[in-house]
Amino acid sequence: MEKDAAWKRIADLRNIIEYHNKRYYQQDNPEISDAEYDRLMRELQDLENRYPDEYSETSPTQRVGAAPLAKFAPFNHPSAMFSLANAFSNEEIIDFDGRTKRLSGVDNISYVAEPKLDGLAVNLIYENGIFTRGATRGDGATGEDVTQNLKTISSLPLKMKKIKEKPIPSFIEIRGEVYIEKESFKKLNLRRINEGEEPFANPRNAAAGSLRQLDSKITARRPLNIFLYGIGDIKGIDFSTHKEALQTLSGWGFPVNKLIEQVQNINACIQYFEHIGAMRERLPYEIDGIVLKVDNLSLQKILGNVSRNPRWALACKFPAAQATTVVKEIFVGVGRMGTLTPVAIMEPVNVGGVMVSRATMHNEDEVLKKDVRVGDTVVIQRAGDVIPEVVKVILDERPIGTKIFEMPKHCPDCNSEIVRMEGEVAHRCINISCPAQLKEHIRHFASRGAMDIEGLGEKVSAQLFDAKLIQDPADLYYLTKKELLELERHAEKSAQNLIDSLENSKNPPLDKFIYALGIRHVGERTAKLLAARFGNMEKIITAKQEDLTAINEIGPEIAASIVEFFHEQKNIDVMNKFRKAGVKPQKKEIAADNALQRKSFVLTGTLESMARNDAKLIIENLGGSVHSSVTKKTTYVVAGSEPGSKLDKANSLGITVLNEKDFLKIIGR
């Protein structure tokens, strides 16, 4: 490509990708598929690699993560990051207002009231409108430099938008909170469980763990979000109120929470506290209270700080929903990857309006750290929507004769040996034929995000397995109606329905099938990347480590896990059984009508409306093929601007030549 054309394409791609980032992350309304998005990113990355002069620190490619770090560099905050004094009752809120008035000598103070987000605080530096560095809070004076990781947060502008109200300052520190939405958190944990990894305890830990990843490519795959709520040092301009600062931040393109309000007096603050408290459960993110800030910035200065807390702000905390109950049993479950998970089974109890009887404790270390024993009275807590957790044991109420929890030495299901791998917190059953694992594996295969086979939930999967009708997911396709009818709870209709759902599931989208196989570390996103890159199962099965790591988001660990999976004899047998049963995954975007079936194309010149790679994919998705040289067998030559010698060859062979407009018509655009 000509340098100018390349430059133009780079600029276009950057805009297009930022547009789609907004649609996806801010408006929750994507316009294109993940595969198309990945293609745009790859095209941009390729062009930037080829034209390094066009490097830009605000390009969307800067968001995908950089080489892993050995450790984070310390980061000295230009101005200290304070924390907040807490209030737990209306009286304490009123006291705060009284103190503020007394100390400032002003008796009508207006505040800005904000939700108190339960994430982790960060400090961002923008120089002349460009995001240059960012860090965690740390001890308030020094944090960790997590610039690369922050860049992966799509809702964070890498460049400030110009507005007419305020010039872009030459230097500004912007403070905010990185968080993960409740829904994304649930999905992330499901993904982790499916990939055989430890789930996070709550969205806050998930956000912190993700932001403090040394490998920013991992951070890039985490659904991090950010809200900005304050300013530290600033050069060249200033604000008179906090409200004005927030409005300006929003104008510059920073996400600012929509629930923030200016409130005229302390009674209105209390009303706000109650109002936000009432809607807390319905919010898409977790909050643990509200923050009140004196609106007038000169007043803030007069009030100053006391030790590490400003006197002009207050955190009003919601009481956590807690309850006490008794642990009846500590049950140990076996997951699909053989991970053992202790779960406290308790006397059912109402925690903030929800009946709770189980609390997952993730691993042995967690049970031992809290020293939870059968018979103990425990305090349990439910924060927002999140899974209930055991906060602590009430030792005074411990009965005599309780025993310290011990992880079983043998699998509770198959009695095989349990091992704890070096460097892992998890204990695993390493028997690959462990029935509990196999049942989980079959359940996963049939589940909604995977093959979505109706009528094949946890119970039926286990039933089929226990009746020895199936050993692995491929066996499902050999079930007969007669066999089903012999099982309990299966009548003519349900048996026929299951047979039909299985039959109908024989041409799954390729990415769903890959995900359904349950390869360690391969979640929905990786499955999509594999499907888009390789197009069919055979190519994925035979892919080498380096073919896999060539994909942007696939690192050596995921690649090794995929290669290993397809080398295992047991899995090779299962894949053969799928093939014999007629299970044939389809490349996702094959259009219903194979309009270009058996038509062969040669592309020459530059197309205005799309990159050549995109044109190629579209043709292939419609069943056609694309070749590099013109022969008698070529059906069409598509000629963009400045076509090469291929056009002459087409003319001499009498092959139909399509201009861009004709081409768009044939592909239905």
- Chain residues in the site for ligand IVH (CB under 6 A): 82-84, 114, 116-117, 121, 137, 177, 229-230, 291, 310, 313, 315
CB of 85 to ligand IVH, least distance (A): 8
Nearest CB to ligand IVH, comparing residues 246 and 380? 246
Task: In angstroms, give the least distance from the CB of 211 to ligand IVH.
Answer: 12
Nearest approach, Cβ of 278 to ligand IVH (angstroms)? 18
DSSP-derived secondary structure for 408-425: -SB-TTT--BEEE-TT-S
- Closest by CA to 175, choosing from 212, 113, 226, 235, is 226
CA 361 remoteness from chain centre: 23
- Residues 668, 597: contact at Cβ < 8 Å? no
Rounded Cα distance between 588 and 535, Å, is 8
Gap between the Cα atoms of 143 and 138, Å rounded: 4
Taking the least distance from each CB to ligand IVH, the nearer of 146 and 667 is 146
Indicate the residue among 292 and 484 with the shorter CB distance to ligand IVH.
Answer: 292
Q: Who contacts 661 (Cβ-Cβ below 8 Å, separation ≥6)?
A: none
Residue 157 to residues 44, 125, 132, 562, Cα–Cα distance (Å): 18, 12, 11, 35
CB of 316 to ligand IVH, least distance (A): 11
Closer residue to ligand IVH, CB minimum distance, 176 or 509: 176
Q: Which is nearer to ligand IVH, 315 or 650 (CB)?
A: 315
Q: Choose among 131, 169, 137, 127: nearest CA to 150.
A: 131
Q: Are 226 and 178 in contact (CB under 8 A)?
A: yes
The CB-of-262 to ligand IVH minimum distance in angstroms stands at: 14
| Residue closer to ligand IVH, measured from CB, 41 or 269 | 269
CB 600 within 8 A of CB 633: yes
User: Nearest distance from residue 156's CB to ligand IVH, in Å?
Assistant: 16
Q: In whole angstroms, how close is the CB of 221 to ligand IVH at the nearest point?
A: 24
Task: Please identify which residue in the block is written with the tokens 């990415």.
Answer: 511
At closest approach, how far in Å is the CB of 153 from ligand IVH?
16
Choice between 82 and 131, CB closer to ligand IVH: 82
Facing residues of 262 across strands? 112
Nearer residue to ligand IVH within complex by CB, 199 or 289? 289
User: Edge to edge, what strands does the sheet with 224-235 contain?
Assistant: 130-136, 120-127, 171-180, 224-235
Measure Cα distances from 419 to 408, 409, 432, 433 in Å.
10, 8, 13, 15
3-state per-residue secondary structure call for 579-647: HHHCCCCECCCCCCCCCCCCCEEEEECECCCCCHHHHHHHHHHCCCEEECCCCCCCCEEEECECCCHHH
Identify which of residues 283 and 487 has a Cβ nearer to ligand IVH in the complex: 283
- Give dist(CA 335, CA 156) in Å, integer: 36
C-alpha torsion 496→501→506→512, nearest 10: -160
Report the residue number, 177 or 389, with the smaller CB distance to ligand IVH.
177
Token pair belonging to 194: 């499916």
Distance of closest approach, residue 246 Cβ to ligand IVH, in angstroms: 10
Provide, rounded to whole angstroms, the least separation between the CB of residue 209 and ligand IVH.
16
Residue 642 CA to residue 624 CA, distance in Å, equals 24
Spatial CB neighbours of 455, under 8 Å, sequence gap ≥ 6: 494, 497, 498, 501
- The answer to whether 254 and 231 are in contact (CB under 8 A) is no
Which one, 137 or 382, has the nearer CB to ligand IVH? 137
φ/ψ bin of 58: left (φ > 0), alpha (ψ from -120 to 50), beta (otherwise): alpha
Rounded to whole angstroms, the Cα distance separating 328 from 508 reads 43
Q: Single out the residue of 608, 667, 640, 641 nearest to residue 12, CA to CA.
A: 608
Q: Which is nearer to ligand IVH, 109 or 630 (CB)?
A: 109
Please report how close the Cβ of residue 232 comes to ligand IVH at its closest, in angstroms. 9
Give me the helices (H) in 74-220, please: 90-104, 147-151, 182-194, 203-211, 216-220
Is residue 175 a contact partner of residue 123, using CB atoms and an 8 Å limit?
Answer: yes
Q: Which of 636, 632, 613, 641 is nearest to 624 (CA)?
A: 636
Q: Are strands 74-76 and 120-127 parallel, antiparallel or unpaired?
A: unpaired
Cite the active site residues: 116
CA 119, CA 207: separation in Å to the nearest integer? 7
End-to-end CA distance of the chain: 25
Kindly state the smallest distance separating residue 291's Cβ from ligand IVH, in Å.
4
